[in-house]
């Protein structure tokens, strides 16, 4: 067992390979998080847009309602 540990300690790894592997792992983690968060972000934006449109229609309807009552 001791000789196996010494052999692993003496083996040199390519620094470029270590950097490339780390960059690929980081990119994979970021990609997975983006894929996981994308549906939640779309749902949140949809709810925000629906609320904004409803509020705009309510304000427009409230502004037009007194004018229609005065004409009748």
In this prediction, residue 4 carries a pLDDT of 66
DSSP-derived 3-state class of residue 6: helix
Structure confidence by residue, pLDDT tens digits, 21-68? 999 999 999 999 999 999 999 999 999 999 999 998 888 888 876 655
pTM: 0.48
Please report how many Cα atoms fall inside a 13 Å half-sphere around the Cα of residue 24, on the Cβ side: 6
In this prediction, residue 63 carries a pLDDT of 80
Structure confidence by residue, pLDDT tens digits, 4-19? 666 666 778 899 999 9
């Amino acid at each position: 067992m001791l000789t196996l540990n010494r052999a692993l300690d003496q083996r040199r790894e390519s620094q470029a390979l270590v950097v490339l592997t780390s960059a690929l792992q980081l990119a994979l983690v970021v990609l997975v998080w983006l894929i996981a968060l994308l549906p939640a972000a779309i749902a949140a934006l949809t709810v925000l847009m629906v609320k904004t449109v409803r509020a705009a229609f309510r304000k427009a309807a409230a502004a037009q309602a007194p004018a229609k009552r005065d004409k009748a």
